[in-house]
Amino acid sequence: MSRGRWRDMAAEELQQQYSPSRWARRLRGDAAVRAHIEAVTAGTQRARAGTRSSLHVPYGEADGERLDLYFPAEPSETFPAFVYIHGGYWQCLRGIYLCGHSAGAHLAAMVLCTDWTEFGVVPDIRGAVLVSGLYDLEPILHTYVNDALNMSWEVAQRNSPMLCITQAVPAAAACEVLVAVAQHDSPEFRRQSQEYSQALRSAGWSVSLLDLATVDHFDIIEKLSEDTYILIQVILNMIARG
C-alpha cells in the first residue's frame, strides 16, 4: 500500500483505519481503551512499588509537562536512560534510549529528525523503539482525531517524520532504530510502519522492523511488563549492545 493509497478511501474507512480501538482483538471501542488504561496503570503501580522513583518532575511550565523517573534497584555510577513516551493522539549526559507508543512513537521519531545543532547540543541517543506509530500525519487531517487537534495541512507536513528524514550522519548512523508493529494493527498503521522503516534504511539509518504476531495496538505495549515478552528481550539486547 503506497503512501497515497489513503486518499482513495471513503471517509468512514479512513476513520476506521485510524481508530486503533476498532482493531483490538479482545475488546472493541471505548472498552478497549479503558482496558488499556487499566493495564498500563497497574503496570505503573507495580513499577513504583518495586523500584526507587522520583515522580512528577517538571520539565516545563505547563501542568502536563512532568516526568516520572525510575532508578535501578542496584546503585550504579553509570546506567542508560530509557525514555518512554505514551500514546493518546498527543492529547493524553548518559546514553539515551527512546521508546514511544502510537502518538508517542511519532514524538520519538520527531526527536530523531531534530537538528540539535540549533540548540547547541548533541544528545547521545543510542537507540529508539517506535511501537505502532504514526509517521505521516496528513491522513489524520481527514479523521475525527483532527476535530480536537485542528491541524492545518502545513502543520501536518512539518510534523510528519516521514517527510523530515535526514541522511544519517555518523552519530545518527550509530543510533539503532527499531520499528515495531502489531499483527492486528490496522492496515494503515502497518503501512506507515513499513514505509517509515524503509525510508530510514534508505537514508542510511540502522533500522529493523519487528512485526509482532498475535498482538494488537494495545497489548503490543501492555506486554512490556512481562519479562519473557519478545519486545522486552529485543530492547534489553539493544541496550546491552550500546
Cell 541496550 -> residue: 239
Rounded to whole angstroms, the Cα distance separating 175 from 70 reads: 23
Q: Could you please report the per-residue DSSP string of 60-127?
A: SSSTT-EEEEEE-SS--S---EEEEE--STTT----EEEEEETHHHHHHHHHHT--GGGGT----EEE
pLDDT in tens, 62-100: 887 888 898 887 777 777 788 888 888 777 647 789 999
> For 136-157, b where at least 16 C-beta lie within 10 A, e where not — what string?
bbbbbbebebbeebebeeeebe
Domain assignment present for 104: yes
Range of the domain at 125: 3-22+81-241
What cell was used for 22?
A: 476498532
Domain assignment present for 211: yes
Query: Is 217 annotated as catalytic?
Result: yes
Catalytic residue among 185, 193, 197, 216: 185
CATH of the domain at 198: 3.40.50.1820
**Between residues 170 and 61, the one the model is more confident about:** 61
pTM: 0.80
Neighbours of 23 (CB within 10 A): 20
Domain assignment present for 42: no
pLDDT in tens, 164-190: 998 877 656 689 999 999 999 999 999
Catalytic residue among 106, 197, 217, 219: 217
Q: Is the pLDDT of residue 2 over 90?
A: no
| pLDDT for 120 | 82
Domain assignment present for 137: yes
Catalytic residue among 21, 36, 101, 102: 102
Query: Is 36 annotated as catalytic?
Result: no
| pLDDT for 66 | 85
Domain assignment present for 151: yes
- In the chain, the number of structural domains is 1
Query: Is 202 annotated as catalytic?
Result: no
Domain assignment present for 206: yes
pLDDT in tens, 94-153: 778 999 999 999 999 999 998 888 888 777 889 999 999 999 999 999 999 999 999 999
pLDDT > 70: what percent of the chain?
Answer: 96
Q: Quick one: average pLDDT of 233-242?
A: 90
Domain assignment present for 125: yes
Q: Is the pLDDT of residue 208 over 90?
A: yes
